[in-house]
Every structure is written in structure tokens, then in C-alpha cells.
Amino acid sequence: MAARPDGVELVPPVGDRDRVRGSWDAPVTLVEFGDYDCPFTVRAFSVVRGLRQRLGGRLRFVFRVFPLTRIHAQAAAEAAEAAAAQGQFWEMHDLLFEAHRKLEDADLRHYAEEVGLDIERFEKEMEDHTHTARVREDLKSGLSSGVPGTPTFFINGVRHDEPNDFETLLAALEATPGGGSP
């Protein structure tokens, strides 16, 4: 894909470091930069769930954290990465959004228990901020990609600047080569 002059391409492109739902071979990739403590990202969670159900195997979904300045956003992002280190990223990701922004330390520990994490390891990694660098990588990616706030979506590497409601995103995804009805 050629670089766009307005600087709204995804940097870096989706790769092995990303958290991916769906097939790597899917023709359409939707990347979301989100913040677990952002009410708009919380609303987008159900939109993305609906898009994934509707498009099935035609959609690959990637989530990159873009924690804003609130302390709970950073802690939740690190908790998701601590869960990823134990193979439970998506389970924790879903719980964080379904929790409706209950992100105190005790809440995060409860979610870790709920998804079956090794709690001693989880608490040590949270205390040591083991996953801060990984969270910063996503944040840097968002800044390099011109993310103005959360949620921000990219479709096949190009920023989606239209509304983030279900119908608008679905139309944009379906208009992408390979995104239409099978």
C-alpha cells in the first residue's frame, strides 16, 4: 500500500506482535486503538462484536491499546498484557469492557481470577509494571498513525474517519475488497 500524503496510514502495519481475532488470511483487517476506561471505546466494543459476527471469516480484528492519561486506563492495559502473557488476552479484554469501566486494582485482580490466571504471577507483573513497554509500543503506534482519540479504527491500514457506529463501519468494511458478501 502506498503511503498516504495526509499521514493516516497504520504504523507499523499489523504483524506478529499484534493481538488478533480471526484468520490471518481474512481479506479485511479492522484495527482499533482503544482505551479500556473510555466510554466511547466501551460503546465501540459491542459494535466490533457485531461486526465480527456479521462478517465472520472475512474479518481479522486487531486491538491496540491507546490509554489516555487516566491511571485506570494504563493499569487496565497492563492487566490485559499480563493476561496475554498467560495466553488469556481476549478473555481479559472482553471482561474489561463488559465491566463498564470498573478498573480499580481489586477489580483487575478479580478479572484475573475470573479468566483463570496465575494470580501470584499477575500481581507481581502488575506491581513491577512488567508490561509497560508493550503498552507504550501500542501508544507510540497510535501517535505515529495520527490517532486523534479513542476509539480510532483503521481498515486495511487506512484510518477510518467516518462515524464509528455499526452501520457506517459495516458499510466501510463491506466496500473494502473482499469485505462484501461471500
Instruction: Look at residues 164, 143, 153, 142 and name the one whose alpha carbon lies nearest to residue 31.
Output: 153
Interval 36-69: pLDDT, tens: 999 999 999 999 999 999 999 999 999 999 998 6
Q: What are 116's three cell numbers?
A: 483463570
> Please, how many CA atoms are within 13 Å of residue 173, restricted to the half-sphere of its CB?
30
pLDDT at 179: 82
| Fold annotation for 28-173 | Glutaredoxin (3.40.30)
pLDDT at 180: 77
pLDDT at 69: 65
In this predicted structure, the answer to whether residue 3 has a pLDDT above a threshold of 70 is no
**Could you tell me the residue ranges of all domains in the chain?**
28-173
Interval 114-131: pLDDT, tens: 999 999 999 999 999 999
pTM: 0.93
Residue located via cell numbers 457485531:
50
On whether the CB atoms of residues 131 and 78 are closer than 8 A, the answer is yes
pLDDT at 4: 47
